[in-house]
């Protein structure tokens, strides 16, 4: 008995080595994003000898110094005294309001990610590693390479968009100031944090897709048993598609229960991701809404002026579209996760309705369905708004309402 307890406390070296390898592979898929965050003083965790640990205090102090330098440069170049002068200067100052909001978002996000949610970020990666072991992701060829390629595509896409915005901004700006040079990288990190959130959701979705693949393979195998097929040559099998995780139906088969356990873990990961990025998503909505309202106001001001402000209007339109695109990205990422979850529900229901299966397997499927209902895999913003495609529609609706109000007020000014 004593030897068995010692073995339980100390896992086998092979299992521990395999676990560390999976953690390293998961970090490998998001390493480009982590590398970019390091430039902005955002340190979620560090990988040491195959184990995830909070970043050291030396690294965190360097991040604080980076934040302090950016904050001081911003304060030194902010046009606060312009509020006391003429109308044109007031408009110039109002143009800086969205920048202040973005600075607040960047500062709070960096502090939150580096100091407050380290344990959550590490726990998310740890649970994902456990999920990969349970799901046997090795059966899917190039699983981690495809995930890393997806990360690189995300980075390339939003970097190109940001470069285009910067070029348009610098071309249409009559007087390029130091303030613009300081602000533009902060808009980049704002989008970077949104991409990090979308990548976390995508990692969760890829594991759920694998569960769906296993369920779909099992359902198709059961449907084939009811159809007589005559073949005149050997059937060519695709090892990736034909891998049957659940196996043959039997009273002792508990693979559906194992899949239900993995779904439960995905639900817990979703809750941790929600808690980790709650404030960031909220600040994204606040900054985007502030930017839209201010840009509408300044656009109306420029439109009424006799001078030609076409360059400023083009610049405002481009940045306003980019800000709204950030909300669209998080909404689309969460909506795609919900669609995959709905597919899981349909597949589990097919297993339940197959009365040819052993009773124990159908009972497991019913328990699986209860977990699907218990974990809706929805991201909420402080329990106020659900992040899905309806959030985008609500945002556009509210922005349109404020547009009408501002247009009406502008007639009396």
pLDDT in tens, 44-99: 888 887 788 888 888 888 878 888 887 787 777 665 544 444 444 555 666 667 77
Do residues 335 and 389 lie in contact, with contact meaning Cβ atoms separated by under 8 Å? yes
More confident residue, 407 or 364: 364
Write the pLDDT tens digit of every residue in 285-297: 888 888 888 877 7
**pLDDT, position 335:** 95
In the DSSP assignment, the letter for residue 234 is: P
Write the pLDDT tens digit of every residue in 268-290: 999 999 999 998 899 888 888 88
Domain ranges of the chain: 12-226+245-410
Banded model confidence at residue 264, pLDDT cuts 50, 70, 90: very high
In the DSSP assignment, the letter for residue 386 is: E
Banded model confidence at residue 410, pLDDT cuts 50, 70, 90: low
- Among 113, 101, 117, 98, CA closest to 64: 113
**pLDDT, position 202:** 95
Distance (Å, whole) CA 257 – CA 361: 8
* Average pLDDT of the residues of the chain: 81
Least-confidence region, from 98-112, 169-183, 220-234 = 220-234
Write the pLDDT tens digit of every residue in 316-359: 777 788 888 888 999 999 999 999 999 999 999 999 998 889 99
With 60 as the cut, is the pLDDT of residue 236 above it? no
Do residues 200 and 273 lie in contact, with contact meaning Cβ atoms separated by under 8 Å? yes
With 70 as the cut, is the pLDDT of residue 1 above it? no
In the DSSP assignment, the letter for residue 141 is: T
Distance (Å, whole) CA 137 – CA 141: 8
Q: Report residue 51: phi and psi, to 5°.
A: -120, 140
Write the pLDDT tens digit of every residue in 118-141: 889 999 999 999 999 899 887 777
**Cβ contacts of residue 370 below 8 Å, gap of 6+?**
none
**pLDDT, position 243:** 75
- Among 141, 185, 152, 118, CA closest to 31: 152
More confident residue, 303 or 162: 162
- As a dihedral over the C-alpha atoms of residue 287, residue 293, residue 298, residue 300, rounded to 10 degrees, the angle is 160
**Cβ contacts of residue 405 below 8 Å, gap of 6+?**
none
For residue 385, give the H/E element and its range. Answer: strand 385-386
**pLDDT, position 242:** 61
Distance (Å, whole) CA 183 – CA 280: 18
**Cβ contacts of residue 82 below 8 Å, gap of 6+?**
89, 90, 92, 93
**pLDDT, position 10:** 45
Cα 68 to the center of its chain, rounded Å: 27
Query: pTM (2 decimals)?
Result: 0.87
CA distances from 194 to 26, 162, 189, 347 (A): 19, 13, 9, 31
């Amino acid at each position: 008995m004593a030897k068995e307890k010692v073995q339980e406390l100390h896992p086998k070296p092979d299992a521990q080595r395999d676990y560390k390898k999976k953690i390293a592979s998961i970090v490998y898929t998001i390493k480009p994003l982590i590398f970019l965050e390091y430039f902005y003083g955002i340190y979620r965790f560090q990988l040491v000898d195959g184990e995830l640990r909070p970043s050291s205090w030396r690294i965190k102090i360097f991040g604080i110094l980076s934040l302090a330098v950016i904050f001081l440069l911003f304060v030194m170049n902010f046009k606060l005294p312009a509020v006391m002068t003429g109308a044109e200067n007031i408009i110039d100052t109002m143009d800086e309001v969205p920048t202040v909001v973005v600075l607040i978002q960047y500062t709070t996000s960096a502090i939150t990610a580096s100091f407050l949610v380290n344990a959550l970020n590490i726990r998310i990666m740890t649970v994902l590693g456990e999920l990969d072991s349970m799901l046997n992701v090795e059966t899917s060829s190039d699983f981690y390479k495809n995930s890393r390629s997806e990360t690189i595509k995300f980075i390339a896409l939003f970097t190109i968009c940001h470069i285009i915005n910067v070029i348009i901004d610098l071309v249409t700006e009559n007087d390029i100031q130091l303030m613009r040079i300081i602000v533009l990288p902060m808009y980049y990190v704002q989008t970077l944090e949104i991409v990090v959130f979308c990548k976390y959701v995508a990692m969760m979705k890829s594991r759920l897709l694998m569960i769906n693949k296993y369920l779909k393979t099992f359902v198709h195998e059961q449907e084939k048993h009811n159809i007589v097929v005559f073949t005149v040559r050997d059937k060519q099998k695709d090892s990736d598609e034909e891998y049957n995780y659940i196996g043959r139906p039997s009273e002792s088969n508990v693979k559906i229960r194992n899949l239900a356990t993995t779904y439960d873990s995905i639900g817990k990961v979703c809750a941790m991701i929600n808690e980790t990025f709650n404030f960031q998503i909220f600040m994204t909505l606040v900054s985007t809404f502030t930017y839209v309202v201010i840009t509408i106001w300044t656009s109306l001001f420029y439109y009424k002026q006799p001078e030609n402000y076409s360059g400023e209007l083009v610049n405002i339109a481009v940045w306003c579209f980019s800000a709204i695109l950030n909300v669209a990205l998080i909404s689309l990422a969460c909506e795609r996760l919900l669609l995959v979850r709905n597919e899981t529900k349909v597949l589990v229901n097919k297993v339940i309705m197959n009365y040819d299966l052993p009773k124990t397997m159908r009972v497991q499927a019913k328990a699986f369905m209860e977990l699907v209902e218990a974990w809706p895999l929805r991201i909420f913003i402080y329990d106020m708004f659900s992040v899905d495609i309806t959030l985008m529609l609500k945002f556009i609706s509210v922005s349109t309402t404020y547009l009408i109000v501002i247009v009406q007020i502008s007639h009396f000014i």
